[in-house]
Amino acid sequence: MAITIRKAKQSDCEQILSFIKGLAEYEKLANEVTANEQLLKDTLFSEKPVAFVLIAELDGKPAGFALYFYNYSTFLAKPGIYLEDLFVDPKYRGKKVGKSLLVKLAQIAVEEDLGRFEWSVLDWNEPAINFYRAMGAIGMDGWTVQRVSGESLKQLAQKET
């Protein structure tokens, strides 16, 4: 079985959305998906894309994806890659699709002389955590993700300073 990793094209938006929905279902967050194909086109394939997607194909069939964007480390004074989503279709798991996507992202980081490659994982997702550890990832103990979104974001934006 041949795995190929390629940059996504605008014509992949339907497949990307399908992967996003599959990931959301796996993470028990399907009700939070408001993405649609047009929003993906606008944000991923505009003149100034805000994120990028790699598509993994196994024998020519879409098997998974990685969506990433660039962040910045002030401590290193270098940009890095933040992996927002990694998803492999369940029927293709265990066939090195996820590993191939991570390796490709690491190659991009090295080729572009970036300082870091990082991501978050749900604390209950033991299979993913074990997989990431096997790839050399180190958990960032002592850090927690903070988020402001939806109505809370609007309220924060209206606070007096």
Q: Verify whether residue 92 is a known catalytic residue.
A: no
Residue 13's pLDDT is 98
Does pTM top 0.85 for this prediction?
yes
- Rounded alpha-carbon distances, angstroms, from residue 85 to 22, 142, 146: 11, 22, 17
Beta-carbon contacts of 1 under 8 Å, excluding residues fewer than 6 positions away, are 58, 59, 95
For the chain, the domains span 3-157
In the predicted model, what is the mean pLDDT of residues 90-113? 97
In the predicted model, what is the mean pLDDT of residues 87-103? 96
Integer Cα distance of 83 and 98 in angstroms: 12
Predicted confidence (pLDDT) per residue in 120-157, tens digit: 999 999 999 999 999 999 999 899 889 999 999 999 99
Locate 156 and state its tokens. 């924060």
Asked whether residue 1 carries a pLDDT value surpassing 80, the answer given is no
Marked catalytic residue, from 68, 72, 82, 132: 132
CATH number given to 3-157: 3.40.630.30
Cβ neighbour number for residue 75 with a 10 Å cutoff: 7
